Amino acid sequence: MIVMLPSSISQLPTPCLLIEQATLQRNIERLSSHIGALGCTIRPHVKTHKSVDITKEIVNGGHTKGITVSTLKEAQHFFSAGYTDILYAVGLVPNKFEQVKYLISQGCDIKVILDSVEAARLLQDFTQLNQTVFKVMIELDVDHHRAGVDPHGDTLLEIATILSDAQFCELHGVMTHAGGSYECFDHESQLALARQERDFSVAAAKRIREKGMPCPNVSIGSTPTAFAIDDLTGITEVRAGVYVLFDLVMAGLGVCDIDDIAVSVQGSIIGFQHDKHIALTDAGWMAMSRDRGTAGHKIDQGYGVVCDAKGAAYSHLIMQSANQEHGIIGVRDNNPENEQQLSPDILFSIGDLIRVLPNHACSTAAQYGEFYLVDGDRVIANLPSISGW
Ligand SMILES: Cc1ncc(COP(=O)(O)O)c(C=O)c1O
């Protein structure tokens, strides 16, 4: 069966996920020119969109080398689409060894990460038994955010020694993700963390090399630190993902403006509660995700900022709460000016289309198996994406 692509967003089913082409291109170009000017390359993290078509656009934007994935399913999917240089950036455990071995046997140049002596020993045993070379990066903790070893501690050198002594492991370098940048609410603190991410990673690589072991790659990155960094000496690549779409969390940190958010969920108005001055949409938390990433921000955006059908944001409207297939749209509180504006039950009619900007692009996009690339109200293409593990 051939399904024709609708030419107008008004013909799309709701809820659906829209990506504004011009905004996407602008975001790609912004990081590409920044990292290019610093003489480095981006290893884009495809977990944000999990789309081969969007990855092609990123690569066309220049200054990229390879990709980063967050699941082995993404690795398999992108490898099948022709991407061979892949970093799987989640700590590797034994139940995934076989899957990685399979990818390597097919010609995939996959790199894996780990951050414990135990995992390094288990991998050493597996690679020895299977006579298969794994390229391994040691994950560093540069901001007490999540995973990784202390760049200045003994465990780093202990793991490096196991890997460089192992006949079938190749010590590929060190990597880190300064996820603490999501709590840096101004440029100064983002820059300070970006420099720390760089300096700690470069120092860790130096310690490994001083012991006579190889450490050819030093990989860092998160969207806030990638934009903030001003000198990438000693760094071989920067990983970033959410920057291509941006979202309300990034806008709340000042990394982008609301106008830079390329992704939105298109919903229909399905009903009203006039006594409560709210409107209901068919985009609930299944469509938006449960992510409330702006909850701790100066401006809590609820489940998302409401826009008209063409994407112009209503400054006074947010999705206040969400059920599985219902979004509840109301007027923001705490601002008397908002009360002068039309409440959503007056503003909208049944069947009207709205767009809702998400808190976290990665969580929202992961709810869908396809996106619509649009230019205003014109549909340009249907982009498949993947999900699962
Ligand atoms: C290991 C790793 N690298 C890079 C990134 C990209 O960060 P961002 O989405 O802020 O660009 C992430 C995001 O979670 C990550 O986990």
As beta bridge partners, residue 176 has: 140
Alpha carbon distance 204, 209 (integer Å): 9
Pocket test for ligand 1, best of 201, 239, 248 (most atoms within 8 A of CB): 239
Tokens of 101: 């071995």
Is 82 buried (19+), middle (13-18) or exposed (0-12) by CB count in 10 A? exposed
Beta carbon of 182 within 6 Å of any ligand 1 atom: no
Beta carbon of 243 within 6 Å of any ligand 1 atom: yes
Boundary (domain end) residue, out of 189, 215, 244: 244
Reply yes or no on whether the pLDDT at 275 is more than 80. yes
Pocket test for ligand 1, best of 141, 142, 222, 229 (most atoms within 8 A of CB): 222
Beta carbon of 293 within 6 Å of any ligand 1 atom: no
On whether residue 1 sits in a domain, the answer given is no
Tokens of 292: 């409330």
User: What is the tens place of the pLDDT at every residue in 26-64?
Assistant: 999 999 999 999 999 999 999 999 999 999 999 999 999
Is 198 within 8 Å of 234 (Cβ atoms)? Answer: yes
Beta carbon of 240 within 6 Å of any ligand 1 atom: yes
pLDDT at res. 335: 66
On whether residue 172 sits in a domain, the answer given is yes
pLDDT at res. 36: 98
Residue of 222, 204, 227, 119 whose CA lies nearest to 169: 119
Cα of 283 from ligand 1 centre, angstroms: 27
Q: Distance between the two ends of the chain, CA-based, in angstroms?
A: 28
Beta carbon of 221 within 6 Å of any ligand 1 atom: yes
On whether residue 332 sits in a domain, the answer given is yes
Beta carbon of 45 within 6 Å of any ligand 1 atom: yes
Percent of the chain with pLDDT over 70: 98
pLDDT at res. 131: 97
The ligand 1 atom nearest the CA atom of 175: 1
Boundary (domain end) residue, out of 220, 244, 268: 244
Reply yes or no on whether the pLDDT at 338 is more than 80. no
Is 80 within 8 Å of 52 (Cβ atoms)? Answer: no
pLDDT at res. 334: 60
Cα angle for residues 228, 234, 235 (degrees, 5° grid): 55
On whether residue 5 sits in a domain, the answer given is no
Distance of CA 189 to the CA centre of its chain: 21
Query: What are the residues whose beta carbons fall under 8 Å from the beta carbon of 289, sequence distance 6 or more?
Result: 358, 359, 360, 363, 364, 366, 367
Beta carbon of 175 within 6 Å of any ligand 1 atom: no
As beta bridge partners, residue 279 has: 272, 329
Cα of 61 from ligand 1 centre, angstroms: 19
Compute the average pLDDT of residues 261-286. Answer: 97
Report the SS3 class of residue 140. strand
DSSP 312: P
Alpha carbon distance 20, 379 (integer Å): 9
Alpha carbon distance 31, 25 (integer Å): 10
Beta carbon of 181 within 6 Å of any ligand 1 atom: no
Cα of 96 from ligand 1 centre, angstroms: 21
Residue nearest to atom 15 of ligand 1 (CA): 177
Together in a domain, 45 and 134: yes
Query: What are the residues whose beta carbons fall under 8 Å from the beta carbon of 9, sequence distance 6 or more?
Result: 18, 266, 309, 353, 372, 374, 377, 378, 379
Compute the average pLDDT of residues 356-374. Answer: 97
Whichever domain contains 359, its CATH number is 2.40.37.20
Report how many domains make up the chain: 2
On whether residue 2 sits in a domain, the answer given is no
In terms of pLDDT, which residue wins out, 302 or 2?
Answer: 302
Pocket test for ligand 1, best of 28, 31, 34, 45 (most atoms within 8 A of CB): 45
Beta carbon of 69 within 6 Å of any ligand 1 atom: no
On whether residue 223 sits in a domain, the answer given is yes
Is 252 within 8 Å of 263 (Cβ atoms)? Answer: no
DSSP 2: P
Which of 115-129, 163-177, 218-232, 330-344 bottoms out in mean pLDDT, i.e. has the lowest? 330-344
User: What is the tens place of the pLDDT at every residue in 56-94?
Assistant: 999 999 999 999 999 999 999 999 999 999 999 999 999
Boundary (domain end) residue, out of 190, 220, 244: 244
Whichever domain contains 227, its CATH number is 3.20.20.10
Compute the average pLDDT of residues 195-200. Answer: 98
Compute the average pLDDT of residues 224-251. Answer: 98
On whether residue 251 sits in a domain, the answer given is no
pLDDT at res. 342: 86
Residue nearest to atom 16 of ligand 1 (CA): 177
Residue nearest to atom 7 of ligand 1 (CA): 222
Compute the average pLDDT of residues 340-351. Answer: 92
Together in a domain, 81 and 191: yes
Residue 42 lies in domain: 21-244
Query: What are the residues whose beta carbons fall under 8 Å from the beta carbon of 199, sequence distance 6 or more?
Result: none
Pocket test for ligand 1, best of 43, 137, 177 (most atoms within 8 A of CB): 177
Alpha carbon distance 206, 268 (integer Å): 56
pLDDT averaged over every residue in the chain: 96
Beta carbon of 241 within 6 Å of any ligand 1 atom: yes
**Phi, psi (5° rounding) for residue 285?**
-75, -20
Residue nearest to atom 2 of ligand 1 (CA): 177
On whether residue 335 sits in a domain, the answer given is yes
Count Cα atoms within 13 angstroms, Cβ side, for 293. 23
pLDDT at res. 1: 61
Residue nearest to atom 3 of ligand 1 (CA): 177
Together in a domain, 25 and 170: yes
**Residue indicated by tokens 């081969």:** 52
Tokens of 389: 């593990």
Is 344 within 8 Å of 331 (Cβ atoms)? Answer: yes
Residue of 349, 310, 309, 385 whose CA lies nearest to 50: 385
pLDDT at res. 232: 98
Reply yes or no on whether the pLDDT at 208 is more than 90. yes
**Phi, psi (5° rounding) for residue 229?**
-65, 145
